């Protein structure tokens, strides 16, 4: 029989907005910064885990398999099995889902599952023409051949490509993620004013959560090698309003597009962990679970409308568990773009879409905005790609506990035309 799987604790770093040049932390640095205090407060040793699973998309060359590097730096033992998962924006949730299935089926009792991303460390990439020139120069034998190869150099061979820009462009449709949000917005008639109002509210909610201390115990202070410390998400703009955001120009589809830098998620560095345990591990270590994972679901769709991934994944998840949208008291829907979030909400309310695409008898229903992303989301926090899926599960659990709600869903769209959703219940 499937065993219950509990979330017993978790923590994350502050999310730090990428500015000029690499930030103070690599992906593994970030994972270690929030992992150390998390493990230090547990009543068991770091070596008591069965596995470590970590989501990461932009792995840097010095940290191959960052899960293993982080586990060793966290003192979890040389015999600790650790591996890294990558499913774009869903990587941090995939780590939880993989751990959940290992524990549910009896293959493990306690797993540390996380996500980490340092988008400010995304590399600059040589163009293929430049790579071929370097290869020809290296292969040339003798002085004359090397001089001949050297004279073939052209200035554009040395012009680097921004790796992050290519990574955020779908290789099949050749649309970047912002353009896919424009497509979703167009399909459901989302206006620029609606997107800007949603974005301003995300900043207001995060600012309120910070001021009210709602993130204490979730966000751990991070210390860089030069002695600086970082104790809060620094992308929030407390003075954001729909009026000020309306002054920004569209980024992806000028001049009429809806998506701007102000109503999109921010490019950010950050890490997050959660501890998952079986009922046997809970009893053995006298742990106090925060929540239990009920179910999860992954879905795929046309990459050009990847922003509808939450609709395609959360809907069958609810159906399988005999639930409707109104049965879920708290939602975390990753804010890749305000237009995309609003598109998802509109899709669930659209009778034709729900009948023809989701196979429902009619509109699925409306998510009360007071139940959705109650403390802001990626528009104000930032979206470290490999981390966000983990953070929304962690914050969903903490938010449910604070609000006294019983049932929640964490869901996200995923670049490449995917979606993931997880059903959580408080204990």
Beta bridge partners of 372: 331
In the structure encoding, which two tokens stand for residue 7, read together? 């979330």
What's the distance, CA 299 to chain centroid? 16
Decide if 369 is catalytic. Answer: no
Rounded distance, CA 53 to CA 341, Å?
Answer: 28
For 286, counting Cβ atoms within 10 Å of its Cβ (0-12 exposed, 13-18 middle, 19+ buried), the class is exposed
Rounded distance, CA 391 to CA 116, Å?
Answer: 10
CA angle 311/398/57 to nearest 5° reads: 55
Beta bridge partners of 425: 292, 407
Beta carbons within 10 angstroms of residue 358's beta carbon = 18
Residue pair 412/309 in contact (Cβ under 8 Å)? The answer is yes
Beta carbons within 10 angstroms of residue 26's beta carbon = 20
**Which ranges of 256-387 does DSSP label H, i.e. alpha helix?**
279-285, 309-320, 338-349, 351-356, 378-381
Residue pair 380/334 in contact (Cβ under 8 Å)? The answer is no
The packing angle between helices 91-104 and 388-403, to 10°, is 70
Decide if 383 is catalytic. Answer: yes
Rounded distance, CA 248 to CA 424, Å?
Answer: 38
Catalytic residue among 89, 297, 354, 395: 89
**Those residues with Cβ within 8 angstroms of residue 123's Cβ, 6 or more apart along the chain or in another chain:** 58, 60, 61, 163
Catalytic residue among 121, 203, 383, 395: 383
* Active site (catalytic) residues: 89, 383, 413
């Amino acid at each position: 029989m499937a065993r219950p799987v509990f979330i017993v604790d978790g923590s994350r770093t502050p999310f730090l907005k990428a500015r000029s040049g690499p930030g103070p932390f690599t992906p593994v640095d970030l994972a270690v910064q929030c992992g150390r205090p998390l493990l230090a407060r547990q009543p068991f040793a770091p070596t008591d885990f069965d596995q470590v699973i970590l989501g990461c998309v932009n792995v840097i060359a010095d940290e191959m398999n960052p899960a293993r590097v982080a586990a060793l730096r966290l003192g979890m033992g040389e015999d600790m099995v650790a591996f890294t998962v990558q499913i774009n924006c869903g990587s941090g949730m995939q780590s939880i889902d993989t751990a959940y299935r290992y524990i549910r089926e009896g293959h493990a009792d306690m797993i540390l599952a996380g996500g980490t991303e340092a988008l400010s460390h995304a590399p600059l990439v040589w163009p293929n023409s430049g790579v071929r020139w370097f290869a020809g120069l290296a292969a040339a034998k003798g002085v004359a051949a090397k001089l001949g190869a050297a004279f073939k150099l052209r200035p554009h061979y040395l012009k680097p490509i921004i790796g992050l820009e290519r990574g955020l462009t779908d290789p099949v449709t050749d649309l970047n993620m912002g353009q896919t949000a424009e497509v979703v917005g167009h399909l459901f008639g989302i206006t620029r004013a609606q997107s800007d109002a949603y974005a301003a509210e995300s900043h207001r909610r995060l600012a309120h959560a910070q001021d009210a201390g709602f993130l204490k115990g979730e966000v751990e202070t991070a210390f860089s090698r030069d002695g600086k410390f970082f104790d809060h998400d620094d992308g929030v703009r407390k003075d954001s309003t729909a009026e000020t955001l309306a002054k920004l120009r569209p980024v992806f589809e000028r001049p009429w597009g809806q998506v701007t830098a102000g109503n999109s998620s921010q490019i950010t560095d950050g890490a997050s962990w959660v501890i998952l345990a079986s009922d046997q591990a809970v009893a053995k270590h006298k742990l106090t679970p925060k929540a239990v994972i009920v179910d999860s679901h992954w879905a795929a769709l046309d990459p050009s409308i990847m922003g509808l991934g939450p609709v395609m994944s959360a809907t069958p998840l609810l159906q399988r568990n005999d639930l409707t949208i109104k049965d879920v008291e708290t939602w975390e829907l990753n804010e890749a773009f305000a237009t995309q979030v609003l598109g998802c909400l509109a899709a669930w309310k659209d009778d034709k879409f729900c009948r023809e695409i989701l196979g429902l008898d009619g509109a699925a229903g409306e998510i009360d905005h007071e139940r959705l992303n109650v403390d802001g989301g990626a528009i104000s926090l930032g979206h470290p790609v490999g981390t966000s899926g983990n953070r929304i599960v962690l914050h969903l659990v903490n938010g449910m506990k604070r609000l006294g709600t019983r049932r929640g869903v964490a869901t996200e769209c995923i670049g490449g035309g995917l979606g993931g959703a997880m059903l959580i219940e408080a204990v």
